Structure 1
C-alpha cells in the first residue's frame, strides 16, 4: 500500500436545503507533505470535534480502488482525491485484510488501525446527494481511521510497511458489518 494523495480541507459554509452547514469534508489534494498529529492532521479543518478527529480518529484513509465503484454511480461529479473526506488516498487499502490494531510505518509516522468510518450527512452534502449515505452503508469499504502513535510528515508515494499484525482481531470490514447490524442497516 502507498499514499497516492495527501488531502486537506478548510472550513466551508454550505446552504443545504435552507439550512446553513459548516463542514471540513471538502478536502483536496496538496503537493506538500502533511503533518499527522496525535488528534488530527495539521492544517486540516475539523468542524465537528464530537464525531471527527481525536485520538482514535486522527487520520482517515480511503482506497483509490473504491473510487471506481462510486464513479459509476456518480459519473457527473468532478472527481478528485479527497472526495470522501479522507486525509490519505491510498492505492490499495483493503478493509477485509486489515485488522483493528494493525500498525504501519509510513513516512515519519507510525499509524495504528482503530475503526471504520461511519458515514454522516456531510458526505451527502459533499456529493450533493443524500443517497450516498445509505449507499455507503450498504458497501463493505468504509475506509479506515488511524491512531497516530508517532507523529510526523507523510507525502504522496510513501509506502505503508506493516510493523505489527493483529490477525486475532476483527478486520475493519467485520467491525463495519457488526455496526450495520447494530444500526439495523441492510
Structure 2
C-alpha cells in the first residue's frame, strides 16, 4: 500500500494536525505523524525534472506532495519557519528523504537516488493551527526561525558535508528539528568535532 499517488483538489479542504482532509499516509511506521502532516514540493523543480526525464508526463503531485508551492525553495526556507495558508498555520520540520515507493511511482529503480542527489527534496510541515485552505491561497511568512538553518542545510549535513561542525551546532539549536535528526547530528558532531579542536 502507498499514499504517494495524489490527485489535484480544487475545492476547500480542512487541514488537520495529522493530515489534509481526504488524505492519509499508508505506512505510518515511516510516514505521517505531527511533524509530517503535509509534504510540500516546489513547482520550480518541475522544469528540472522535465529536462532530466524527457518524455515523461510530470503533473503536479507526481512526487507525492500535498502542496505544490511556488517560491518556497529548500535554500530559502528554514527549519522552524512558520507560514499562514488560508485559516491554517504550518511550520517546516524537515526535508523529505524518500523511500523506495518513489521508484515505484516513477517506474525507475534509480529515482530515489536521483531525487536525493538533485537536492530538490521538498519538505514536511507540522500543522500549528488547523483550518480550511484551498488551491491558490497565498502562503505568507508568519515567523522566520532565528537559527536560519535552511532545508538545504539539513540535506547537505545529512548526505554530503557531514563534517560542517558550525552548521551542525546551529542545526542542533533548531527546536523544530525532529529528535531523530537531532540524534543523528549529535552523533556526527561527536565524530567530527574532535578534528577541529
Tell me which interval the TM-score lies in, with the shorter structure as reference length.
0.7 to 0.9
Superposed, 1:126-165 pairs within 5 Å as: 126-165=105-144
**Paired positions, count:** 162
Q: Which residue of 2 aligns with 1:85?
A: 64
Q: Which residue of 1 aligns with 2:55?
A: 76
Tell me how far apart the structure 1 counterparts of residues 129 and 52 of structure 2 sit (CA, whole Å).
Answer: 38
Identify the structure with bigger relative contact order (alpha carbons < 8 Å, sequence gap 6+): 1
Secondary structure of 1:69's match?
helix
The partner residue of 1:108 within 79, 87, 104 is 87
Q: Which residue of 1 aligns with 2:22?
A: 43
Structure 1 residue 102 displacement after superposition:
0.5
Structure 1 residue 167 displacement after superposition:
4.0
Scaled by the length of structure 1, the TM-score of the pair is 0.82
Segments of 5+ residues of structure 1 without an aligned counterpart are 1-21
Scaled by the length of structure 2, the TM-score of the pair is 0.78
Residues 62, 143 of structure 1: 8 Å contact kept = yes
RMSD: 1.5
Larger radius of gyration: 2
Structure with greater strand percent: 1
Residues 9, 135 of structure 2: 8 Å contact kept = no
Segments of 5+ residues of structure 2 without an aligned counterpart are 163-183, 185-197
